[in-house]
Amino acid sequence: MTASRVLVEIDGPIAHVTLNRPDKLNGIDLETIDELIAAAESLRADHDVRAVLLRGAGRSFSAGLDFGAAFAEKSRVKKFFFAGPRRLNRFQYVNQVWRELPVPVIAVVQGHCYGAGLQLAACADFRFTTPDATWAILEAKWGLVPDMAGTLPFSELLPADVLMRLAMTGESFTGTRAAELGLATEAADDPLAAALALVEQIVGRSPDSVAATKQLVYGTRRGSERQAWRLERKLQSAMFKARNTSIARKAGAAKQKPEFGPRTHGS
């Protein structure tokens, strides 16, 4: 029986999602894409989950797309790649889906973080890495461009000249350098502990406020000022009506720790 390529474990309010091909440095094939999407869609429906930790089993986060395995089924690859003019294809959706989850997603990086793996990490909301991890936008090595939804977060996180240099050359850089560039949130000897420390802070806040904040930040990255102001008002109006907002206010006034209910904001 083939082992699952993606493991999902729920520990209280935290979902641990682990790429599980350590013998292949967690190279991503078509089955991994299917399982990652299924995991994300399942977590979207779980309103008790407050944060997601995205990790790689073994010594690497992900060495990128496993070309040999993925392109063994050329007809299936074509289906994954096809999309209408206003839709994401499956190669893009597998990463974009994590940006669309109404909870924060934190990537924990060690070892290799290449190509498709780096695009997956970039589509998380936070990235904690070991200082000696090796990062690379590796598509240039194969005469390709990043095409798995990574371009959007890359453009948000990096200046244009830095992004073009990394994407045109495919040069590798350390986790420390990734943090210096702003591509990683933080470099730490124990990135999992650093990620869990952030999660502890986040789960102390209303899950509705956290979900709305993620929507607000991504929703105002592009577009007009009027659109940004409109989204602010819309989300704040929703927060005024949310039960968890009332819980936060009452706990704050009483100087007590709030006991929040399930998330109600976000599908």
Q: For the segment 195-224, what is each residue's pLDDT rounded down to a tens digit?
A: 999 999 999 999 999 999 999 999 999 889
pLDDT of 124 strictly over 90: yes
DSSP category for residue 8: E
Q: Is the pTM of this model over 0.85?
A: yes
Q: Which long-range contacts (CB under 8 A, 24 or more apart) does 179-182 make?
A: 179/129, 181/157, 182/157, 182/158
Length of the chain: 267
Can you say how many angstroms the Cα of residue 172 is from the centroid of all Cα atoms in its chain?
21
- The residue among 183, 5, 163, 198 whose CA lies nearest residue 109 is 183
Q: pLDDT tens digits for 230-256?
A: 999 999 999 999 999 999 999 999 999
